Structure formats: structure tokens, C-alpha cells
Chain A
């Protein structure tokens, strides 16, 4: 299983954290610090796996962002790499050529997408389109609710005039 997923920028700034194993809040920042220093120090041509505290961190760099997932040593590292790529491809399709800024200003969207890909640290959906369909369907639900609210407030405003 995936214990946690992390997204860190090259400067070590956290862009997304998702915990599937309960780490107390205090320990989380320690984990993030340890893992990010471990990964940021590695050269470009080395393999994408690092052993860390009895677990294995699989990471991959896309442009200025490092996508990291911590798995059990018995898990398939190559598949985890594929899951990371799966996530990145979906982000890319959702945002249209995703960049770090998209993930900063729309970090909640990135979380919503991840929640459609992973639950309980396990893979949920291997079909990228299905994930996108689910996320956009929920987005439109939110839009509809917003419009309804604004039209409602207009009606109220008109009625009270």
C-alpha cells in the first residue's frame, strides 16, 4: 500500500500531502523534511527509489516538481512509478499542460483528482478518462450550486427592493 503521497518543489516547498497511514501531525512535518532532503539531494540519473526507515520512497521529477510515494518494501516499485505517471497524466489533461502554478492556486483540485485515483493507499481507477469524468461531473455540481445561490440572492435582492 501507499503510506503517503507527497509533492515537493525543487526548493523543498510542499505542494500536496496525502496520508494513508496515520502519522501524528507533529511527525508529518518531520517525515516531509526527511524525505525531501533525501530526494532533493539525489542526482538526475540515479534510480527513482530510496530506502527510508524500512519503507521505500518512489519518486519522479516532472519539471520543477517531485512526486513521491512511500510504499512497503514488498510492493512493486515500477508500478508505483506508473501510478505517479498516471496521476501526472490526469493532472495534465485536467489542467491542460499542467504547471506548478496550477497546482499552487488550485491545490484543492489536485486533491480532488488524487481522491479519485487512490483510496486507502490503493489504486482505485486505471482509466484516465473515467477519473476526469468523475472530477468534472463533481465540478459542474459545484458550479450549479453556486449559480443557484447567486440567482437566489438576486431574486431576494429584487424582492426586497
Chain B
């Protein structure tokens, strides 16, 4: 009750106040703000205060100025804009009195940063204050200059600061030294002016001055090579003396921290010694004794002592120390590593990472302890340890280390699995000496953390598998077994399904008639793949084809659009094209490992420099037999074009029509596929698809095409006869199972057209029931965004939206970012976009998946706010919009 009354009281007094006297005291304002129950109340109080302060500013009342400034600082800390008070800082600084200046400088440091032009206006006042007779005013000016000065101010005021370093006051001297650090950071050329002065100040006794000057020396060494040489010659003796004095000094209450005299000074000296001793044997020798003394004599039961030891070890590792000293340092680290204090272990791991370049052997000795740290409960320690393990791995210890890591993967935290998996995969890829071991480890990782495995990792695995003919049988069996136990791991399912599809007969021959169970073990999300696998099967295991027909028939009515479509396609293949089926479903050719690696390297580069326009493709680049998937509506014509390049064979046109239609369909090149074209950076996710070169448009595979020689099949043969023309495409059909996930769903009407009238009327109505029409979510002069929808079967709340961004202008949009916001009752997850560059004139597009869960499905319709930012011709662009035309029922 009290607080409520107080608020009311505050309110009343605030209203009663005349707008021209910002009457409340600082204390009262803080109290009023703290009494606010809601953010809205707080905003109201702040708004009132700000209004009063603005009024006072325009009235120009000097008496209230510094109280208002204090209020503004508090308001600023709460995160409200206070730019209108910036000029007040300057006025306060220009005032004569100390209280005004003190608050003014504080405001200057808090409300402004060095980028603001207002700051330049203060240079003159600063100059006057640096020359003031009162040391505290000089101190205020030095402090402000040291914390926020810009390069221009540094140049203007460096002579003043230099002069103040010679002052008799220790307070001024140390502040001037620290201020010079900022000056040297801003203008490294000025380092020369300070080096002689800094060296002479090392003779001081006052610790504050010493600490400041030693830090200045450290900064000078970083800024300027000459300064480094100069300090090596002139201050090493002084430093050794300072360190000896402070470490031998008797108890001094002023500097004592847990029984150690001034640990800060210790550490600063050790740090400078490291810089001076690095790569300089003479300097290093000079320090050896005192370093050994500090390393052995410092107590390590308190944080202060450990901080010194830590710095000392770093210095020993950094300089050209004797081997005895190095052993001492490594032993200290070993002790740190066994310490129960997490902080100490953390710094030990950190230090070992740097020590590994100096003495890898010594670090290897601590391997078991480090591995323990990988399993620590503390994420910071785990991260350090994992990085260290990664550095520790070599050819001899890779197997036990990987085993440990993989074993741990099973019990690791879910949020940690991603990191760990990435590390294990890169270790396994980097150090695999034999394929069997590599495959085994990869299968384990896929089983335990398949959901965290990156796409390129399992793509690489498939390439290896495809090349390792002697291990395919083993692999397919291992994967089959893994699949039964870990069916929920996405990447595992993908790899396993691919393998089973390709090498299924090896599974059957060795293990017996297990194949009937296979489609059942596959999770629903991958049923698309399963259906395709099943199709593959039917050509090779005639005995089970009846059963597969059933599955396909069953799936025809499936709720998932893509699955349904594929099923229909397959059934048509099975029913109508018995004659060509076996060649259509032939096993995939072996993937070219070398070109894959080249390509993988190239795509990583391409994503880095994705701004580069793709070079135009020469017709020669299209000699790929799989290059049919050009983004045109008539692939057949293309196919023939391609053929005619090699040998004219136009007579085949009429007879090949039917099969090529559904082939086109099978490959998913409806109208939407053209939207995939011309997105160079999408290559990373679609790499496998690229590899198979289906759906690869000229611009997509353009830069890479010369490196990529397709699997040797039907290359330059003239293609007059039908069976061979199909053969040419034969390799494509099986690959579509892999590309299915990365490809957009073809728009329904087109799919229907392309089905060549094969589908029955019932399936048409089935489609209409479950599917939602695509919408144009946004259209402006620059951008067009379309949404395609897909529903998760059995979960009406969830919708997968496939967004396609098309650029309508004639200049390329780079750095394209799409953001979306939804009401509270909706959950939204954005998948990564296929790229960040939208090519000009609708010449290709970027796609992105959105996953929306409407928690009030059926009660409230979906709505979304979207924002697109991009750069066009080097200028930033931003567009926003609201999508309210979602089809009903989402």
C-alpha cells in the first residue's frame, strides 16, 4: 500500500510541478522509477522527466544543469535515448567550478562515444583543463581523454599529455601515462614521442605510476618496432629490478593481496617481459633467474598467486627460456590442470593451447586429464578442452582419442552435441588412414548424433562409400542395423536409405530376406526416400515387386504431397513402362571422389566470395549428359539440343516424348525448379544434387563444370534410338531420391500437367483436399516473395512454408536477409536461406524454408510480418510488409 500511495504522491507532485523547473531531485527520480510496477509506468515517468529536462535545457538554467545531467545519465543507463543532453555536457565542462566539470566529464564519457562529432567541440575545453592549476581538474580531463579520445583529438592533445607525464604530481603522472596508451592506440606514429619518457619513468617508486608506465611500454612495443628495440635495450634492467623488489618486498599493507605484495604490478611486469623476451635470446637470458624465482616462490593457494603464476608460465613459454625453466612452467600447468577450482583449470587449458606449439610432447602427457575436461559440467571448460583435443590429435593417437570422444557423444548434453559432432567429424576426416575405420566412426557418429551432422559431412561419406566397392556390403549391413536402433537420426536415415537403395542386394544376399521390413523402419519424414528405394528394388528383386506395388499404391493416398506425387510417378513407371524400367533404375555410377573434393573446396570458396558473378558457361560445359535439367519448360528440346551438338538425331523426338515427360517430372523440374537456378551460393546445401548434376542450371554448375567430369556413360555417343536416350537418363532416376529433400515441391498444377494424364481423378481431388494454394506474400518494385505450403501429416498445426525470393530489378541484391515475426500464439523457425545473393531481373532466386506452428489452429488465422534487408549497388535497402493473405486452415 505504501508504495502505491507513494506513486500517487509522486504523480501528484510531478503534475503539480511547473514544466520549467525540473524540480525533482535525482534521488526522487530514481525512487519514482524504482516504484514503477510495469514497463509502461516506467516509460511514463522517464518521459515526464525527459520533458522537464528538455524544458530546463531550453531555458538555459545553469543551477539545475548538473543535477539534470546526473538524471540523464541514470535514464541513459536504463536504455532510453538521451542525445538531447549531449550539448549540456559541453556546457558543464566549460563551466568554471569543479562540481560542474566532474559531472560534465562523466556525462561526456557515458553519453557520447568517439564517433560523435560533438566530441570535436570539446577539444578546446580539454586543452584548457589539461593546463589547469588544480590537479583534480587535470585528472578529470586526462581520464576523459584516455577513455574516449578520437584520433584527431589524440594528435591535437598529445603534446599536453606528454608534458603532464613530467608533472610532479603522481596522480597526474599515472593518468597521463594511461592517457598516452589511448593516444598511441589511436595514432601509432606518436609512439616515438613517448618511448624515452616512458623508460625514464620506470625509475619511479610509486606503484600506480609504475603500473601505468609499464602498460604504456607494452603498448609502445605493440605499436612500433623501433620502440620495441629501444625498450629492449633500455628498460630490461629496470624491469628485472622492479620485479625483484616487489617479489622480495616485506609485508606492505597498502599493496597486500592475500599475502602477496601487489600482484597487479607483478603481472604487468611479467607481461612486458614476455614481449621484450620474445625472439630475443639476450633479453630472455637476463630474465631467467627472476622468472625462476617467481615461478617457485609464489604461493598458489589464492587467486592472486595463481594469477601471477599463470602470467609467469605464459612469459616462460613466450620467451627463449632455458629448458629447465620450461619444465618448471609445464609442471605448474600440470598442477593447475588437477586443481579443483574451475577457473584454474580453465586457464590451464587455455595455456596448454599456446604451449602446444612450444612443447607438444609435454602437453601430450596431460592427454587423459584434458579428455576428462571435455566431459566437464562447465560449458566454458568443455569448449576449451575440445579445442585443445583437436590440436592434440595426431596420427598415432587418433584412434583412442576418437573412441573416447565418440563414447562421450552418447551421454553428452544435447546442446553440446553439435559442437562435439563437428569436431569428431573433422578429426575423423582429417586423420583417417583406412577407409574401414573412417566408415565405422562415421556410422557411430551418425547413429549417436545424426541430427547434428552437417550436410557436407554426410555427402562426403556417400562419395567415399560409392568409391569403396569392397566395403559397400559391410556398410549397407552396418547402416541397416544402425537404422533399426537409431531411426530418429536424420542424417543416418538419409545415408542408410541411400545405401540400401543402391546396394540393397548386398544386404539381401548376406543377411537373408529382410528387405520387406525396410520401408517400415524408415521414419515418416523419409518415406519419400523409402518409396524411391522401393522402386529401385522392384527392378532388382522381382519377387518382392508385388509388395512394393502395394506400398506405392498405399502411398498414393498419402497426405504428404511430395510422397503422393512420387508414388504416382512410380506406379506409372511400373505399370506403363515395364520395358524400360530396369534401365531406368540402374544403379548409380560411382561418384568421382576427386572432383567432389575439388568441388567442395570450390563451394566453400564460392560461399566466401559469393558476390562474384558466375562466369558465362561455354556450350562445351553442357556436354554433361545429365545437363538436361535446364530451367526451361521443354527439357526434351534441350536434350535434343544437347544431342545435336554431338550428332544430329532429330527423328527420335516423337517417340521419346512420353518417357521423358515423366522423367522430367521425376526429377522435379516443374516450373519451380527454374527458381533454383542461378543461385550460386545454394551450392553448399545442394552439393550432392550438384554432384549428380541433376537440376543444375548453367549458372549453378557453371564455374565448376570444367572440373566435373561426369561418370563415364553415354558421353559422346550419338543418340538416335529410344532405349539409349533413356539410358542417358537412367542414372538420374535413382539420384532423385537424394535430391528430393533439397528440391522445392513442384507446384501442383504443373505437376498434374506433366503427369501426362496418368493420374486418376481421385488423386486430383485428394491433392486439393490437403494442399494449400501458393500465395504471393509480398511484392514491391524490387522484390517478389512467394510462399508454397506443405502440411505435416498428422499435425495440422504445423506448416512448412517454402519461400521463394525473386529480384525484379536489374541489379543484383547482395547481403539479402529475410526476417519474419509472428504473433505470440505462433511459433516460427527459420531455416537457413539457400543464399544471400538474389540475382537480377528474376534470373533465379533465393529460397528459404520456414516452419510455422500455429498453437491456435482453427481459431486464429496465421499472420506474419516480414522484413527484407539487402544491399543493392552498395546501398542498403530495407523493405517490410505484412502477410495476411495466408490460405485458410493454416
Contact = CB atoms under 8 A, between A and B. Distances in A.
Contacts of A137: 136
Nearest to A28: B113
A10 interface: no
A79 B102 contact: no
Interface string B345-365: 111001000000000000000
B264 A79 contact: yes
Given A105-B30, A137-B136, A79 B77 contact: no
Interface in A109-136: 111-112, 115, 119-120, 122-130, 134
Nearest to B381: A47
B377 interface: yes
Interface string B323-357: 00000000000000000001111110010000000
Contacts of A107: 73-74, 77
A68 to B, nearest CB: 14
Interface stretch (B207-215, B713-721, B818-826): B207-215
Nearest to B378: A46
Interface in B228-270: 254-255, 257, 262-265, 267-268
Given A119-B147, A123-B215, A124-B178, A45 B115 contact: no
Nearest to B354: A74
Contacts of B207: 125-127
Interface size class of A (residues with CB under 8 A): 35 or more
A16 B178 CA distance: 22
A117 to B, nearest CB: 10
Contacts of B262: 126
Indicate the member of A48, A85, A122 with the most B CB atoms within 10 Å.
A122
Contacts of B263: 79, 82
B267 A120 contact: no
Interface stretch (B303-311, B423-431, B605-613): B303-311
Contact of B307 (A29, A45, A82): A82
Given A51-B383, A112-B106, A119 B310 contact: no
A124 B208 contact: yes
Given A20-B147, A22-B113, A49-B380, A77 B97 contact: no
Interface string B416-458: 0000000000000000000000000000000000000000000
B378 A47 contact: yes
Given A82-B304, A122-B212, A45 B79 contact: no
Nearest to B253: A129
Contacts of A50: 380
Contacts of A128: 254
Nearest to A15: B77
A24 B113 CA distance: 7
A119 B146 contact: yes
B342 A78 contact: no
A82 B99 CA distance: 31
A137 B115 CA distance: 33
A154 interface: no
Contacts of A77: 343, 346-347, 350
A13 to B, nearest CB: 8
Interface in A10-52: 14-20, 22-25, 29, 45-51
A138 interface: yes
A7 B134 CA distance: 31
B208 A125 contact: yes
B182 interface: yes
Nearest to A138: B136
Interface string A135-146: 001100110011
A22 to B, nearest CB: 5
Given A122-B178, A138-B98, A46 B208 contact: no
Interface in B67-95: 70, 73-74, 77-79
B175 interface: yes
B343 A49 contact: yes
B846 to A, nearest CB: 26
A123 B211 contact: yes
B142 interface: yes
Contacts of A130: 208, 254
B102 A51 contact: no
A126 B106 contact: no
Contacts of A20: 147
Contacts, number: 161
A49 B346 CA distance: 8
B588 interface: no
User: Would you call the interface of chain B mostly helix, strand, loop, or mixed?
Assistant: helix
B286 to A, nearest CB: 22
Given A15-B77, A22-B114, A145 B346 contact: no
B113 A104 contact: no
Contact of B115 (A24, A83, A105): A24
B103 interface: yes
A55 B78 CA distance: 25
A20 B34 CA distance: 29
B254 A127 contact: yes
A26 to B, nearest CB: 10
B65 to A, nearest CB: 13
Contact of B343 (A17, A78, A119): A78
A88 interface: no
A93 interface: no
B211 A126 contact: yes
Contacts of A82: 257, 263-264, 303-304, 307
Contact of B77 (A14, A24, A126): A14
B268 A120 contact: no
A142 B98 CA distance: 7
Contacts of A49: 343, 346, 380
A81 interface: yes
Contacts of B254: 127-130
Given A14-B78, A76-B311, A82-B257, A115 B143 contact: yes
Interface in B131-184: 136, 139, 142-143, 146-148, 171, 174-175, 178-179, 181-182
B412 interface: no
Contacts of B34: 104
Interface string B91-135: 000000111001100100110011100000000000000000000
Given A120-B179, A127-B208, A142 B102 contact: yes
B27 interface: yes
A23 B113 contact: yes
B98 A104 contact: no
Contacts of B342: 45-48
A158 B383 CA distance: 72
A25 B115 CA distance: 10
A49 B378 CA distance: 10
B307 A81 contact: yes
Contacts of A47: 342-343, 345-346, 378, 380-381
A125 B209 CA distance: 8
Indicate the member of A120, A126, A146 with the most B CB atoms within 10 Å.
A120
Nearest to A81: B303
Contacts of B311: 76, 79
Interface string B181-195: 110010000000000
A77 to B, nearest CB: 6
Nearest to B346: A47
Nearest to A131: B208
Indicate the member of A20, A50, A112, A127 with the most B CB atoms within 10 Å.
A127
Interface string A47-61: 111110000000000
Give the 7 A-B residue pairs with the shortest CB-CB distance, closest first: A78-B307, A47-B342, A119-B178, A119-B146, A120-B182, A126-B264, A120-B146
7 contacts: A19-B113, A49-B346, A76-B314, A82-B304, A107-B77, A134-B139, A138-B136
Given A82-B257, A137-B136, 14 more contacts: A19-B147, A20-B147, A46-B342, A46-B378, A47-B342, A47-B345, A76-B307, A77-B350, A115-B109, A119-B178, A124-B178, A127-B208, A128-B254, A146-B99
Interface of A: 14-20, 22-25, 29, 45-51, 76-79, 81-83, 85-86, 104-105, 107-108, 111-112, 115, 119-120, 122-130, 134, 137-138, 141-142, 145-146
